[in-house]
């Protein structure tokens, strides 16, 4: 097809697209036009039917490609515009802006009074794939028509799902993103009133930070799974008192390492002595010395709880 004809074809197709003509109708017109031309040419005297057929097939193919390209571009543009509008609405919701209702009406969406907040660390995913993958994952779990929105940042994405949302749906969303992004994702979720989204998002980010700092495996964490660690990490006199439990051992690194290893081995003498490369009798002697230095029975339930809390805070402070 000559270049000027190709440009004219693209212009006509673009006009059809902007006029709202359905893609199936345009493709059908291409096929019907090709059949009509083929019929006329084939009836011409001395016509080379093979040449005529191949020419018509080539022309119909070029028309079909032009139509598909034009409609694909429109579809991408429409999706990008809708994603941008949904992201703007999500920002307005998070910041509790007064125009959030107006934005929702423009999108044909109904705002929920409660949302399930899902924060995902997607920093290891390829940047140019993330938005498309996230949108596709949300659509695959909740369907094309849903009230879920997402905000994509540099390192994380925040998804807002109207409550109530089934636990299985949130799990499926994270599992889907694991697959399409090609990386195991660290995520946290919590439910919030629509006027308290910002605080809940910060809370979810803190859960991710705690899980990451403590070397926990990548997965979706819910509040109850990290509530103790979260509460212990809050600043205050109680936290300071727990962290100070190990202070008498600061100048006794061997004893500090011994009790830390022993507690992390769940008070197993066999595992702790193996990890420290010492005999169990040597371990027992060190543990007795630790009790003397700390001034309480490390074998009691209360003593073990003190040590577990102190060692957790030690790990958290070291990681952060």
Q: 247: domain CATH number?
A: 1.10.10.2840
Asked if the structure places residue 34 within a domain, the reply is yes
Residue that finishes a domain, picked among 204, 232, 260: 232
Six-digit token string for 208: 């991710």
Q: Pick the most confident of 22-26, 45-49, 153-157.
A: 153-157
The verdict on 54 and 149 lying in the same domain is no
Asked if the structure places residue 99 within a domain, the reply is no
Q: In this predicted structure, what is the pLDDT of residue 78?
A: 46
Task: Return the SS3 of 188.
Answer: strand
- pTM of the predicted model as reported, rounded to 2 decimal places: 0.62
Number of domains in the chain: 3
Instruction: Say whether pLDDT at 71 is over 70.
Output: no
pLDDT tens across 223-276, in order? Answer: 999 988 888 888 888 888 988 999 999 999 999 999 999 999 989 999 999 999
Task: Return the SS3 of 217.
Answer: coil
The verdict on 226 and 119 lying in the same domain is yes
For Cα atoms 100, 106, 107, give the angle at the middle one, nearest 5 degrees: 90
Q: Give me the domain span that covers residue 179.
A: 112-232
Q: How far apart are CA 141 and CA 131, in angstroms?
A: 16
Asked if the structure places residue 103 within a domain, the reply is no
φ and ψ at residue 118, rounded to 5 degrees:
-125, 115
Q: In this predicted structure, what is the pLDDT of residue 225?
A: 92
The verdict on 222 and 255 lying in the same domain is no
Asked if the structure places residue 220 within a domain, the reply is yes
Residue that finishes a domain, picked among 212, 232, 252: 232
Q: In this predicted structure, what is the pLDDT of residue 272?
A: 95
Q: In this predicted structure, what is the pLDDT of residue 127?
A: 53
233 vs 12: which has the higher pLDDT: 233
The verdict on 118 and 223 lying in the same domain is yes
DSSP 8-class letter at 8: H
Instruction: Say whether pLDDT at 313 is over 80.
Output: yes
């Amino acid at each position: 097809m000559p270049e000027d004809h190709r440009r004219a074809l693209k212009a006509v197709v673009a006009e059809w697209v902007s006029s709202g003509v359905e893609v199936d109708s345009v493709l059908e017109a291409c096929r019907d036009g090709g059949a009509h031309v083929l019929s006329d040419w084939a009836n011409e005297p001395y016509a080379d039917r093979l040449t005529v057929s191949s020419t018509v097939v080539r022309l119909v193919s070029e028309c079909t490609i032009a139509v598909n390209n034009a409609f694909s571009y429109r579809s991408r543009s429409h999706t990008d515009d809708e994603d941008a509008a949904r992201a703007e609405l999500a920002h307005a919701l998070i910041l509790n802006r007064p125009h959030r209702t107006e934005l929702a009406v423009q999108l044909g969406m109904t705002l929920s009074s409660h949302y399930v907040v899902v924060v995902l660390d997607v920093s290891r995913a390829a940047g140019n794939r993330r938005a498309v993958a996230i949108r596709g994952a949300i659509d695959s779990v909740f369907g094309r028509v849903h009230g879920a929105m997402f905000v994509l940042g540099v390192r994380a994405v925040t998804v807002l799902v109207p409550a109530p949302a089934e636990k299985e749906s949130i799990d499926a969303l994270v599992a889907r993103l694991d697959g399409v992004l090609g990386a195991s994702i660290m995520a946290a979720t919590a439910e919030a009133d629509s006027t308290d989204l910002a605080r809940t998002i910060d809370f979810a980010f803190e859960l991710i930070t705690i899980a990451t700092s403590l070397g926990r495996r990548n997965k979706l964490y819910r509040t109850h799974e990290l509530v103790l660690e979260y509460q212990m990490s809050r600043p205050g006199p109680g936290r300071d008192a727990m962290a100070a439990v190990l202070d008498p051992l600061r100048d006794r690194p061997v004893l500090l390492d011994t009790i830390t290893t022993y507690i992390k081995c769940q008070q197993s003498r066999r595992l702790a002595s193996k990890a420290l490369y010492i005999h169990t009798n040597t371990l027992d002697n060190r543990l007795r010395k630790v009790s003397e230095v700390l001034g309480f029975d490390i074998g009691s339930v209360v003593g073990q709880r003190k040590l577990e809390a102190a060692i957790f805070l030690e790990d958290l402070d070291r990681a952060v």
